[in-house]
Amino acid sequence: MIDNLKRKKAVLELSNGMKFEGKLIGYDGAVSGEMVFNTGMLGYSESMSDPSYIGQILVFSFCLIGNYGVPKLENDNFLTALGHESSSIKTQGIIVSEIFDESYHYGSMIPLEQWMIEQKVPGIAGIDTRYLVQTIRNTRNLFGWIVPEGCKKENTIRKFPFIENFKKDEYIDPSKFNLMPTVSTKERKVFGTGNKKVAVVDCGVKWNILRMLVDRGCQIELVPWDTDFSTVEADGWLISNGPGDPRNTGDLVERVKVLLKGNKPVLGICLGHQIISLASGAKIKKMPYGHRSHNQPVFIIPEQKAFMTSQNHSYTVDPSTITKDWSLWFENANDKGVEGIRHKTKPFMSVQFHPEASSGPNDTAWILSEFIEKL
């Protein structure tokens, strides 16, 4: 429970001119970012540490956030750090209706607000998050500043490399720049043991993808996004999730095209799916309403087999541009959008949603198993 009255004020200033006043939570400093929301009711630590959210201010539509604290994170060991999708908070800041500033859950390392303070992440509580979600939903390209009382609007506290591209008082717009250098690993790393070897192209990979591969008996080599793929020995490739506009990823699409000329299994997830789609010749468009929730219904078209999935994206594959060698694999049951494509003859598949969940439902975890079987 927070005592709202005793807290410092903070204002959320939006690029459309609107202002929302609330109370400061977390670190006492200003940040700016692209406004996004998620309607998942649980899993805030997973979302906040998900590299896909880099450069963004995340609004939780659910009214009570922080109830179970932040799960333990020991020595950055992703295998045991369930509840974390990277080693630190990636969002610029968060907006909530109410934050719970204690933690009583046995698995908690620290209350949510403490984590934010440690990681220099500010936020605002006491905001009508439902109204804010409606505002974001209805406004294309909305950006915001979190400004605690007495703070200047300066992009100084969040230290990600791409932020240096922006002026001090400019709205951070993460899709303006190629974010791969910021989120991708700097060096090649090997995890796990097993006779199947998967190369994971790190576009901002969520730890749960790595965990699930290791759990399923794979050895993985995590490679930087700009690795020369011909130098990597692997039985199959996984192009990971990540932030930003898939068209703004340097020469990644071109290099993936080369992979698609081969015959080794390739799996794309989220941004990775969009990269593969581009590489296959399909086109990408921005959606009227992005998918930002744990309850996106998708189904495999011929069998009408349906799954609940976790999603976070505002770009989608234009179904009319899917090329002749590929077929539509999954479709969204709400808006009929493309949720997955698969190659007609080769072992290439890619999905818009997150089979690794975390947070969200595990209904499509089988996709990773199926991918591994093909190796």
Partner 1 sequence: MILNFLKPKGNKKQKVILLGSGALSIGQAGEFDYSGSQAVKALQEENLEVIVVNPNIASVQTNKDIDKKVYLYPVTPFWVKKVIEKEKPVGIISSFGGQTALNCVIELYKSGVLQKYGVEVLGTSVDSLEMSENRDLFAAKMKEINVPIPASKAVSTVKEALKVAEEIGYPVITRSAFALGGLGSGLAENKEKLEQLASAALMSVPQILIEKSLYGWKEIEYEVMRDRQGNCITICNMENFDPMGIHTGDSIVVAPCQTIDNIENNMLRDTAIKIVHNIGVIGECNVQFALSPYTKEFYVIEINARLSRSSALASKATGYPIAYIAAKVVSGFNLLELKNPVTQTTSAFYEPSLDYVTLKVPRWDLTKFTGVSKLLGTQMKSVGEVMAIGRNFCEITQKAIRMVNENDEGITVGRFKDATKKELEYEIANPTNLRLFAIYEVFKRGYSIDKIADLSKISRWFLAHIKHLADTENELVELIKKSKAKSVYDAFKNLGKDYIRNLKKLGFSDYQLVKFFLSIKEPNKKHTQKDIKKLSLEIRKLRKKLNIVPVVKQIDTTSAEYPTGSNYLYLSYDGTHNDIILTKKNSGIITLGSGSYRIGSSCEFDWCSVMTSKYFKTKRADSIIINCNPETVSTDFSTSNRLYFEELSFERVLDIVDMEKPKGVIACMGGQNPNNLIPSLNEAKVKILGHSAKTVDMAEDRNKFSALLDKMGIDQPEWISATSRKEIDEFINRVGYPVLIRPSFVLSGTLMNVAGDEKSLDYFLSLTKDISDDYPVVISKFILDAKEVECDGVAKNGEVIISLVSEHVENAGIHSGDATLVFPPEKLYVKTVNTIKDIVRKIARGLNLNGPFNIQFIAKDNDVKVIECNSRASRSFPFISKVSGKNLAEISCKVMNNEKISKIMIDESEIPFVGMKASMFSYQRLDGADPVTGVEMGSTGEVGCLGKDFNQAMILSLEATQIKKPVKGILVSSGRERDKIKFMEVVENLYKLNVPVYATTGTANYLRSRGYNVHLVNWTEDPKAIDVIKDGKVDFVVNIHKTFDIAERKENAIIRKAAIKCGCSLLTNMEKVIAYLKSLDEYDKLQDIECINL
Indicate which single residue of 15, 110, 299, 374 sits in contact with partner 1 (rule: CB under 8 A). 299
Instruction: Determine the residue type at 235.
Output: D
Which one, 254 or 335, has the nearer CB to partner 1? Answer: 335
Indicate which single residue of 88, 333, 347, 370 sits in contact with partner 1 (rule: CB under 8 A). 333
- Look at the block and give the residue holding tokens 């010749």: 281
Which one, 92 or 311, has the nearer CB to partner 1? Answer: 311
Pairing of strands 218-224, 236-239: unpaired
Give catalytic status of residue 273 as yes or no.
no
Indicate which single residue of 72, 130, 176, 197 sits in contact with partner 1 (rule: CB under 8 A). 130
Is residue 62 within the footprint of partner 1 (CB under 8 A)?
A: yes
Catalytic choice (85, 113, 270, 294): 270
Q: What is the DSSP letter of 79?
A: T
Is residue 294 within the footprint of partner 1 (CB under 8 A)?
A: yes
Which one, 64 or 79, has the nearer CB to partner 1? Answer: 64
Find the angle CA(256)-CA(262)-CA(263) to the nearest 5 degrees: 120
Q: Are 90 and 125 in contact (CB under 8 A)?
A: no
Beta carbons within 10 angstroms of residue 167's beta carbon: 8
Is residue 63 within the footprint of partner 1 (CB under 8 A)?
A: yes
Is residue 84 within the footprint of partner 1 (CB under 8 A)?
A: no
Indicate which single residue of 119, 295, 321, 327 sits in contact with partner 1 (rule: CB under 8 A). 295
Three-class DSSP category at 82:
coil
**DSSP readout, 190-218?**
EE---SEEEEEEESS--HHHHHHHHHTTE
| Positions in 222-281 near partner 1 (CB under 8 A) | none
H or E stretch at 133: helix 129-138
Indicate which single residue of 8, 76, 104, 150 sits in contact with partner 1 (rule: CB under 8 A). 104
With contacts defined by CB under 8 A, how many residues of the chain interact with partner 1?
Answer: 55
**Segment contacting partner 1 by CB under 8 A, of 64-72, 116-124, 246-254, 341-349:** 64-72
Indicate which single residue of 51, 244, 246, 360 sits in contact with partner 1 (rule: CB under 8 A). 360
227's tokens: 């690795």
Tell the smallest beta-carbon distance from residue 371 to partner 1 (Å).
20
Is residue 133 within the footprint of partner 1 (CB under 8 A)?
A: yes
Give catalytic status of residue 218 as yes or no.
no
Could you give the count of Cα atoms lying within 13 Å of 168 in the half-sphere of its Cβ? 4
Give catalytic status of residue 354 as yes or no.
yes
Is residue 36 within the footprint of partner 1 (CB under 8 A)?
A: no
Indicate which single residue of 8, 19, 64, 373 sits in contact with partner 1 (rule: CB under 8 A). 64
Is residue 286 within the footprint of partner 1 (CB under 8 A)?
A: no
Which residues make Cβ contacts (< 8 Å) with residue 304, sequence separation at least 6?
A: none
Which one, 8 or 105, has the nearer CB to partner 1? Answer: 105
- Look at the block and give the residue holding tokens 């090997």: 190
328's tokens: 């539509």
Which one, 97 or 240, has the nearer CB to partner 1? Answer: 97
Is residue 88 within the footprint of partner 1 (CB under 8 A)?
A: no
Find the angle CA(252)-CA(237)-CA(221) to the nearest 5 degrees: 95
Is residue 102 within the footprint of partner 1 (CB under 8 A)?
A: yes
Is residue 287 within the footprint of partner 1 (CB under 8 A)?
A: no
Is residue 114 within the footprint of partner 1 (CB under 8 A)?
A: no
State the distance between the two ends of the chain, measured CA to CA, in whole angstroms. 50
Q: Which residues of 276-303 are buried (b: 16+ CB within 10 A; e: fewer)?
A: bbbbbebebeeeeebbbbbebebebeee
Residue 204's alpha-carbon distances to 49, 94, 189, 260, 341, in angstroms, are 11, 20, 14, 21, 21
Residues that bind partner 1 (CB under 8 A): 1, 3-5, 20, 39-43, 46, 61-64, 67-68, 71, 82-83, 97-98, 100, 102, 104-107, 128-131, 133-134, 137, 289, 292-295, 297, 299, 304-306, 308, 333-335, 357-362
Q: Which residues are catalytic?
A: 270, 354, 356
